[in-house]
Amino acid sequence: MGTTQDYALFAVGQMEGAGPVTFRKMMGEYVVYLEEKVVALVCDNNLFIKPTEAGRKVIERLTASPAAVAPPFPGAKGWFVIGDKIEDRDFLTELLRAGYKELPLPKPRKSRSKGKK
């Protein structure tokens, strides 16, 4: 089952305190960007945050429990599972801002050669 657009809009709205958040639909699910970096996935109406050491520390400090990690789709590496904490905008803001600093910039796209057939 794919993610509904309403849930994706809700999830992105909850993350807006972290900065300019955008999203893009891909294969029935959604990729979430903070500025130009991929920071989250919305899969099967669940929010997954890209794992970073800084993010793990924020989760453990604010929830007093270990960060839950699971793959957002079969074959994927584990991402932080947000669950009910999606309701807490301050939590998401702090988590995304902390993790953003550790994430690399996206690799530049290769330009397509014009005139090739």
Q: How is the chain split into domains, by residue range?
A: 5-102
**Backbone angles phi and psi of 39, in degrees to 5:** -120, -20
| 0.95 exceeded by pTM | no
Distance CA 40, CA 49 (A): 4
How does pLDDT run across 28-76, given as a tens digit for each residue?
899 999 999 999 999 999 999 999 999 999 999 999 999 999 999 999 9
Q: Which residues pair with 24 in a beta bridge?
A: 31
* Longest CA–CA separation in the chain, Å: 59
For domain 5-102, is the CATH number 3.40.50.2020? no
What pLDDT is attached to residue 117? 54
**Backbone angles phi and psi of 55, in degrees to 5:** -65, -40
**Please, how many CA atoms are within 13 Å of residue 33, restricted to the half-sphere of its CB?**
11
Q: Which stretches of the chain are DSSP H helices?
A: 5-15, 53-63, 89-102
How does pLDDT run across 64-117, given as a tens digit for each residue?
999 999 999 999 999 999 999 999 999 999 999 999 999 988 888 787 766 555
The candidate with the shortest Cα–Cα distance to 42, out of 13, 64, 20, is: 13
